Structures are given as structure tokens and as C-alpha cells.
Structure 1
Amino acid sequence: MNHPADAGEGLRAERVRREAGGRLILDGVAITPPPGATVGLLGPNGSGKSTLLRILAGLLAPDAGVVTLDGNALADLPVTSVVALHDLNLAAMFCDRITVMKAGRVVAGGTPVEVITEELIADVYGVGAVVTPDGPDGRPSVRFLPRR
């Protein structure tokens, strides 16, 4: 596979260490994927794959070590993530902003509180729902209603 020569230094993790709940999750991990490559992380459950991905994405800070992108520490770069989700409750819990699409068009955008409403769910998904502020930090919680 060819990788663009002008892609910069790319992503680099050096001596990354992370603990959680008193348990060592990552121990001195180093990885330098070639710019433009698709790299698979393999290992059994609990081996640290998801934690390493979160650190490489800048969503979680390492306890020790450094992660850089093109020579700049990730901690110094603003992080923007765009994810495609089907689960409205997960979107409400973890997204700062939500964009809702229907038939190839954006129909709503804003914070979870602004966007996830009973009316929007009925319009976009064609189902009834009850939306309450019972999620973490008052975020919306969606309970779908059975069809009649």
C-alpha cells in the first residue's frame, strides 16, 4: 500500500501507560502507524485495545507517555470527533452536539437537549417516544413507546 510522502510525521505513541480502577491497562505502549495506513488492533477483551484507541483519538489522556500527531502533542490540539450512531440514548449521553439526518438532508442540529425531542423522534423515525431529562447531567433519556 502506498502512503503519501507529504502526510507529515503522522500519529505516534511513545511509552503510553494507563491505569483504571487500580489496574494497569496499558504498560509502555509504543505504536507508530504509517501515515495513511489502516491499522488493526487485535487482542482479547481487556487487553487494552479500546483504551489505546481512546488515547490515540485524544479522548483519554495517558497517565504517562506521549501521543503526537505530526510532531504536536495531542493534548495541545483541539479534538473533534464525528460518529454515526443509531442509539439515541448513547448519542444523548456522549455527544456534545448532534446532527440529525432524514432522506439525505440535515433536519436538526444542536445540543442533545435541543435536538432529541418527542416531536423529532416521531418525525424522523416514525415512532412514539417519551423523552425525559433523566440521563447523566440532565441529558435526554429516550423510552420508545409500543406501536398501537
Structure 2
Amino acid sequence: MTGTELVIDGVTLTAGARRLVEDVSLTARPGEVIGLVGPNGSGKSSLLRAVYRVLRPTTGRVDVDGMDAWSLPVRQLARTVAAVVQESGAEFDLSVREVVAMGRTPHKQLLDGDTPEDADLIRSALAAVDATDLAHRPFDRLSGGERQRVLIARALAQQPSLLVLDEPTNHLDIRHQLEVLGTLRQLPATVLVALHDLNLAAYYCDRLYVLRDGSVTASGSPVDVLTPQLLATVYGVTSEVTIHPRTGAPQVTFLPGAPPLAAQVEAGPPVS
């Protein structure tokens, strides 16, 4: 498993008369972890759907290693791209191990059984998300957090060179959030991940793209992007951003009750 280059070039996505994403461009170089952040409804999930080929761009291209993702044969795409989506609604009448084994399907011929290599990859994927003890449990009896970890393990077992994840830390406790993102950080694959937690995004991502109303508002390293001014403009909140003395990553502290900086600036100085 090695990283692949992803280039999103001028992509616009629509649903009927509604514009979901407008003229978005993004590049993820091999082995990078790229974070998508932004408020609810900003277009993060829609943009990811264009990458794993659920929502076709109205204009623009999604290229994987220089090839149009939408022109690739399904089997070839499945060997390259794996996706973990929000609220998949998957109800598999299978054991956890059988669900994770589905990740090996793109690498097999019809009716092929598991090879020793498949078995090793499945065990490794389960271990990576702390789900080894769930292997023989029915998938449909798991909690939301357990299901999420199993679906991430299925994507890992697929051995993609591009891994696309939409809020993978949803439903996970703090320990498993850190373990899952730490695993993604160590993969040789390229990772494109949408996150709500800005502090997790700041620590684990190489670069961030900030979406607002379907467009990219800012992009760059976390330390360049996560500023009080941007957070006020994009999220409508007041915050302080410091550099953590041990991690070196930006750390965002929100200040409840204070008017957003953008509102303060717009209103001007208080009248005495």
C-alpha cells in the first residue's frame, strides 16, 4: 500500500437547482493526511462523495494519479480508493470478521476464498482499531462506536492507496479517536478526512482546507489556517489559538458567551 496523488480541479456539485460545492480545487500528495473542516452544510461530505464516486461533478475533474476517477473501471477504483462514510446505515447479517473480510473483495476473483495473506491483513486491521475481541460478534449487535471501528478496519483491509473518511471519529470515545487517527497518520496511503474537531485536525493533518457555503475559504498548514479571525468568520465564534508546548500544533480554545470577533469588528469600538 503506497500513497497516491489526488487532484480535485474546479469541481462544482449540484443537486437539482441547489449548488452543493462550487469551483473547489484541492491537492493531496502521496502519503499526506489532508483535513476538510467547516460548519455543517459547508460541502465537506458532498466533496468526498465526488471522490469515492457517488456524486458526479457538474463541472471539474477528480483525478487519481493523473487518471479521471470517474472513468476508471469499478474494480480498479476499488483497489485504489476506500471510503468510510457517515451513517452508512449498513446492516450486515455477518460477523465482524466477515465484514472486515469484505475489504479484500476487490483483490479477489469471484468465489475465491481467503488466503493466508488475507487472514493476516484482516487480523492486522482489527488490531489497528482495537476490535480483535469483536471478531466473532454479530455486526448488527454492535454499538455505534464499535460499528464505526469495524468499518474503518474494513477500509484498512482493502489496502487502498487513497483513503477517504467522513467524520471517522463520530461515536468514538476519546481513546479510540486518538488510536484511529494515529493509525491513519502512520499509513503509507494518502488520506482525505473530514473532521469537526479542530484540535484533532490540527494535530493529525498535514494541511487543512476550510469549506464555507460550498467553497474553499482557506487552505494551508494548520498553524496558518486556524486563526481567531478565520474561526470568527467561518464558524461565528470567538476563540483563542495558541501553540501547544509539547505537540507544537495549534490548540483552539473557544470562549463561550463572547461575541464573535467578526461581529466585534463589524460593530466597531464600543460607545462610551
Same fold (TM over 0.5): yes
The correspondence of residues 101-116 of structure 1 with structure 2, limited to 5 A, is 101-116=211-226
Residue type at the aligned position of 1:17? R
When you count strand as a share of all residues, which structure comes out higher?
Answer: 1
Gaps of 5+ in 1: 1-5, 28-40, 59-65
1:90 and 2:200 aligned:
yes
Which whole-Å deviations, capped at 9, do the CAs of 1:81-102 have from their partners, x for residues lacking one?
3233322122213322111122
Percent identity over the alignment is: 39
- Which residue does 1:8 correspond to in 2? 75
The correspondence of residues 111-126 of structure 1 with structure 2, limited to 5 A, is 111-126=221-236
- Which residue does 1:140 correspond to in 2? 250
Q: Which has the higher contact order (CA 8 A, sep 6+)?
A: 2
Two-structure CA RMSD over aligned residues (Å): 3.7
Gaps of 5+ in 2: 1-72, 80-102, 105-117, 164-186, 259-272
Query: Cα 1:115–1:47, aligned 2, differ >3 Å: closer, same or farther?
Result: closer
- Per the alignment, in what secondary structure is the counterpart of residue 121 of structure 1? helix
Cα distance in structure 2, aligned partners of 1:135 and 1:25: 37
Query: Cα 1:47–1:25, aligned 2, differ >3 Å: closer, same or farther?
Result: farther
- Per the alignment, in what secondary structure is the counterpart of residue 8 of structure 1? helix
Cα distance in structure 1, aligned partners of 2:245 and 2:152: 23
- Give the 4+ runs in structure 1 shifted more than 6 A: none
Cα distance in structure 1, aligned partners of 2:229 and 2:145: 42
When you count helix as a share of all residues, which structure comes out higher?
Answer: 2
Select which of 122, 131, 134 maps to 2:241. Answer: 131
- Per the alignment, in what secondary structure is the counterpart of residue 247 of structure 2? helix
The correspondence of residues 73-84 of structure 1 with structure 2, limited to 5 A, is 79-84=189-194
Query: Cα 1:80–1:98, aligned 2, differ >3 Å: closer, same or farther?
Result: same
What's the offset of the Cα at 1:57?
Answer: 3.5
- Per the alignment, in what secondary structure is the counterpart of residue 90 of structure 1? helix
What's the offset of the Cα at 1:110?
Answer: 1.0
- Per the alignment, in what secondary structure is the counterpart of residue 127 of structure 1? coil
When the two structures are aligned, how many residues end up with a matched partner?
118
Deviates more, 1:91-100 or 1:81-90: 81-90
The correspondence of residues 45-60 of structure 1 with structure 2, limited to 5 A, is 45=143, 49-58=147-156
